[in-house]
Chain A
Amino acid sequence: MKRARRLAAVVAGVTALASVAACGSGSGNGDKGGSAADVGPLDPNTKVSITVGCQPPKSSKALRKEWDNDVAAFEKLHPNITIVSKDAFPCEDPKTFTAKLAGGQMENVYYVYLTDAKNIIENGQAADITKYVSGVKNYQYLQPQLLNVFKGGGRLWGLPKTNYSMGLLYNRKLFQQAGLNPDQPPATWDEVRADAKKIAALGNGIVGYADYSANNQGGWHFTAEMYSQGGDIVTPDGKKAAFNSPQGHAVLQNLQQMRWTDNSMGSKQLLQIADVQPMMASGKLGMYLSAPDNIPTIKDQFQGKFEDYGLAPMPGAQGTLIGGDGYMFNRKDTPDQIKAGILWLEFENLTPGKGQFDWAQKNADKQPVGLPQPNIFTGPPAAEELQVRTQNANLPVQNYKAFADGDPKVKYRLEPPQAQQIYAVLDGVVSSVLTNRNADINSLLSKAETKVNGILANAD
């Protein structure tokens, strides 16, 4: 009797929860209470026009031509859909993004960094696309951690485009000159330190290992280094700082020793990404933490050579910081516009061999092919995409083997909450260690912990 009553209570509870959930989903932003017909595929006789963000700029001739050709091919396939491309460089400028979103100037299908998705979802500035993605062929094979970024309240609000994870970019030429094996990059922080010392010993202003320490980028890399040692920036509930830990001490101690004991980090500090990339391009730097996409930048903007660079997974391999981008939908979009947008994204971003994964075309256009990322798929599409990429590779892919083999085994970690504010605090810690020989790590971490706890306590 008691069991039956308990069962009845459970059933009632589940029913109530289901009702609440149903109510919740029905009132979601952007869900205009469409009928069953709305959920079906787009009627080929319905004319739809959508604006789409992040068309490559005119200065990137090959990429723009590829985009325009893709749009033409897509419109031929779907004559009822018109794509109005909007170019921008960079695709998302944090300084204007909020104003554009607030002013209702955002495209129907707009580009976002993964780090912004949560905020947009919380502020109800995206359309709910949950019921429209069932027809996307590779949806079930998208990397879950990327898809999770676009989920909120049990609904889906966007789709990923690319991803990156941090690794160790190194100069193979300097490795050889320093008597190191470029096919065996350092796998631990101790090895990084030892190799950096040997590379710096080459002299002539060569730096063994460089790290950022200004404009919040020091905090960003500190986070990546913490993850690589298995540490954390905030507690799992996001309420307290967690970096005043043995891992935090180890990260800073390692930097302190490389900077002051080994003198392998050079004398110039307060570096940012724009300082380090030219150093790598000019052959003055042995190693720094970076995502694979830095390699084409170093080649294109600073005249580096592809064959000089190798890529390894994060030293320590306990975890790595990931980032990337994707597309979300304007909350004012009609159901037909959402359907058309999803068709476009499937064509351009989510199909191996097409759009951004049309490696044959990119090879023909002399675009770099063979970098180990983006890698947004799992299962069969991942294998298919890798196969097409390998067939058309024009980069020395063997130089990235260590990363390609090792990175998927590393735990992917996202940025902490209130990332920029926390990075600003941690910037001070990293810059102190790199500019003050007598920096007291205990005191620095302790003070930073108090500051970050204040930031987290004030966040709502």
Chain B
Amino acid sequence: MDISLSRGTRWSARARRGRGVRRNLTAYGFLCAALVCFALFSWYPIVREVILSFQKTNFIGETKWVGLKNFHRIFQDPSFSAAWKNTAIFTLLALICGYAVPFVTALLLNELRHARGYLRFVVYLPVMLPPAVSVLLFKWFYNPGPGLFNEILRFVHLPTLAWLDSSKTALISLVIVATWTNMGSGTLIYLAALQTVPAELYEAAELDGAGLLRRIRHITIPQTKLILLVMLLLQIIATMQVFIEPFLLTGGGPDNATVSVVYLMYQYAFNFNNYGGGGALGLMLMLVLVVFSAVYLRLSRDDRDSRPARV
């Protein structure tokens, strides 16, 4: 009796497992496909890139292990320090502009009662343009001769600027382009976050006589703190990889004033055929970004943990 019972229990457990596997087969299929895609197009290139940074190769001749020689050579390149400096300044400026502008825009849009949908569309419009098109549009805006910006400055009797043609204004000019092309997405995310803030809080604050700035400081910012923090980190990760703006607008010039780490990486790999050097730069950038990504993951986990469990 005991034997038949335990056999029955075993069979039913097996059957349950079998049913479970069958039920989840589709999910496993999707998971495998995703894993294969990640392995092929993300993880393998990362591993390959790490290996590459310690090798000397042009993929044609003999591949040699060179230890830290690629890193040593990169450190000696005067463009290396310029690239990191420019990337850091660009990231900082892009955060100041690219972080504040979409947030303020979202606040304004959130306060509006009319034409909200139309304005949202207008704000999001630059995101829909292919990046190369937006960037080339700015090439004309920045033309020191008949460019739009200098025409405006002339119209209001202000001195014109050299924009991209001056090492003093070139980097900030790139920040303006990046902010304009990317602010649409940020604005929509902030707007969505703002709309989760309970209206009663604002009503209570208004009854207590709180003005707009106090409402923002004491209600809006604390209520959207997490999304602001996550966006900040995502923006750092994205802006540190700036490439298309210097590539299309300035070619890294004038005199290395806009060369970024990713642009330098591109130069090493595709113009100098020094894949090891490009790999070394890529590894350095990756390590820096890993730190920010780790913080991002930690914050996401905190966010999940702090949410009430679903019933």
Contact = CB atoms under 8 A, between A and B. Distances in A.
A125 interface: yes
Contact of A270 (B61, B77, B146, B164): B164
B76 A270 contact: no
Contact of A101 (B60, B73, B145, B146): B60
Interface in B145-166: 145-146, 162, 164-166
Contacts of B250: 214, 270
B273 interface: yes
A361 interface: no
Interface string A246-277: 00000000000000000000111110100000
Interface string B238-273: 000000000001111111100000000001001111
B185 interface: no
A119 B254 contact: no
B145 A267 contact: yes
A329 B267 CA distance: 28
B58 A98 contact: yes
A101 B250 CA distance: 31
Nearest to B144: A267
Contacts of A424: 79, 252, 267, 271-272
A124 B255 CA distance: 37
A272 B254 CA distance: 13
Interface string A82-120: 000000000000110011011000000000000000011
B58 A119 contact: yes
Interface residues of B, number: 32
B118 interface: no
Quick one: which of B61, B146, B251, B252 has the most chain A CB within 10 A?
Answer: B251
Contacts, number: 103
B254 A431 contact: yes
B253 A268 contact: no
Contacts of B130: none
Contact of B255 (A102, A217, A266, A432): A432
Contact of A421 (B162, B252, B272): B272
A102 B59 contact: yes
A270 B256 CA distance: 12
B61 A123 contact: yes
Contact of A428 (B249, B253, B271, B273): B253
Given A101-B59, A270-B254, 14 more contacts: A94-B271, A98-B273, A119-B273, A124-B61, A214-B250, A215-B252, A217-B251, A268-B145, A418-B272, A420-B273, A427-B251, A427-B252, A428-B256, A447-B78
Ranked 5 nearest A-B pairs via Cβ? A214-B251, A102-B59, A215-B251, A123-B61, A431-B253
22 contacts: A94-B270, A98-B59, A102-B59, A119-B273, A123-B61, A125-B60, A213-B253, A214-B252, A215-B251, A266-B145, A267-B162, A268-B144, A270-B165, A270-B254, A420-B272, A421-B274, A424-B79, A424-B272, A427-B253, A435-B162, A435-B165, A454-B77
Interface of A: 94-95, 98-99, 101-102, 119-120, 122-125, 205, 213-218, 266-270, 272, 418, 420-421, 424, 427-429, 431-432, 434-436, 447, 451, 454, 458
